[in-house]
Amino acid sequence: MRTPIIAGNWKMNNTVSEALKLVEGLKPLVKDAKVDVVIAPTFVTLDAVLKATKGSNIKVAAQNMHFEENGAFTGEISPKMLEELGVDYVILGHSERRQYFNETDEALNKKVKAAFAHGLIPILCCGETLEEREANVTNEVTGKQIKLDLAGLSKEDAEKVVIAYEPIWAIGTGKTATDEQANETIGAIRKTVAEIFGQEVADKVRIQYGGSVKPGTIKAQMAKPEIDGALVGGASLKAEDFAGIVNF
């Protein structure tokens, strides 16, 4: 039985004071959650948020990282730094990173391996554009991403990966894939994982849906057999909204 995982991606939002206020508001609302709760603050607020969540059931993720441990990579953060801070998860390959920062599957494969080398669990994002959805190549697109991003991983590491299916056309647009579309695509992603690592691993991998998830949409989404949680954007910036999703 896969434990659902609800992760809140704050993106480029919240100063340190705003982040701490949000965490303090969130803690009592999710303390009895029956799912794994994760929040992903900015790099600037990571340390403060880690201290504020200590002793609670809230885990912390970084929104990105470089694959090298150190070096001349101005503006980047290394897995070694995240490991020392005590970060639990790291979001990799978010559509905004792929789109605006030209992240490639080759680089993401290095990042996934680097994450595991430093005790971090990747939340690996994949998804298709509207054009790809309309051309009926969604499963080919996500399948290719998963195969490239997880290439060379051991079965032991592969089963720990969290995958987030986020249709790019549903990110921040208010549009969402229907529950049936999401369930079907996530089922196809699980099939790809099974092709690479075997059914036993595929049955353990948790696959989230991401794309304008709100308190009003989560219950129906979580009723679908393939959907193991959500990667939440805008709705994670208000304690009540995010708690409403966590406590679906």
* 155 annotated ligand binder: no
The backbone torsions φ and ψ at residue 124, rounded to the nearest 5 degrees and listed phi first, read -90, 125
Q: Quick one: DSSP state of residue 18?
A: H
Other CB atoms within 10 Å distance of the CB of residue 144: 14
Type of residue numbered 89 = Y
* 212 annotated ligand binder: yes
Give the chain's largest Cα–Cα span.
48
Supply 176's token pair. Answer: 């969402």
* 214 annotated ligand binder: no
End-to-end CA distance of the chain: 18
* 233 annotated ligand binder: yes
Catalytic residues, by residue number, are: 94, 166
Type of residue numbered 197 = F
* 11 annotated ligand binder: yes
Closest CA to 92 of 82, 174, 242: 82
* 169 annotated ligand binder: no
* 9 annotated ligand binder: yes
Residues marked as binding for substrate? Answer: 9-11, 172, 212, 233-234
Residues marked as binding? Answer: 9-11, 172, 212, 233-234
